[in-house]
């Protein structure tokens, strides 16, 4: 797992959450900026998945690779599910993206802990 990529994903996830929080506080529906943030986050997560699987196939990685793979696959669904906020035309649509961004940041950190073998 790439530490630099993990940090970038965490920063983008938190920025997406913050941007959507501002949208929600302003009582606005989800807009193109929110959707773009989700798209960038999803692309970064796909890159993370590819890097993770390549490193796992090369013999690197945690002792419990099943848990890591579960996180690696599950995290790909979160931004896609966050797009559900597009259907909700109230302030709660961007609220879904806030939760998605925070969830991604936490899951990436947990994946880093699993990769390095630290107990969290």
Instruction: For residue range 2-20, list pLDDT tens digits in order.
Output: 889 999 999 999 999 999 9
Task: Tell me, rounded to whole angstroms, the distance of Cα 69 from its chain centroid.
Answer: 15
State mean pLDDT over 81-92. Answer: 74
Instruction: For residue range 31-58, list pLDDT tens digits in order.
Output: 888 889 999 999 999 999 999 999 988 8
* Longest alpha-carbon distance in the chain: 49
Task: Tell me, rounded to whole angstroms, the distance of Cα 18 from its chain centroid.
Answer: 14
The long-range contacts involving 30-34, CB below 8 angstroms and separated by at least 24 positions, are 30/85, 30/86, 30/88, 30/89, 30/93, 30/94, 30/97, 34/85, 34/93, 34/94, 34/97
CA angle 88, 92, 93 (to 5 degrees): 45
CA distance 25 to 63: 43
User: 């302030």: which residue's tokens?
Assistant: 91
Instruction: For residue range 94-120, list pLDDT tens digits in order.
Output: 888 899 999 999 999 999 998 887 765
CA angle 49, 53, 59 (to 5 degrees): 150
């Amino acid at each position: 797992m790439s530490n630099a990529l993990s940090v970038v994903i965490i920063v983008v996830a938190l920025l997406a959450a913050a941007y959507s929080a501002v949208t929600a506080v302003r009582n606005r529906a989800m807009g193109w900026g929110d959707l773009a943030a989700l798209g960038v986050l999803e692309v970064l997560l796909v890159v993370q998945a590819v890097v993770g699987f390549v490193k796992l196939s090369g013999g690197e990685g945690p002792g419990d690779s099943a848990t890591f793979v579960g996180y690696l696959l599950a995290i790909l669904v979160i931004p896609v599910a966050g797009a559900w906020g597009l259907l909700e035309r109230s302030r709660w649509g961007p609220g879904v993206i806030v939760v998605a961004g925070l969830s991604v940041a936490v899951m990436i950190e947990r994946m880093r802990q699993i990769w390095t073998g630290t107990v969290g």
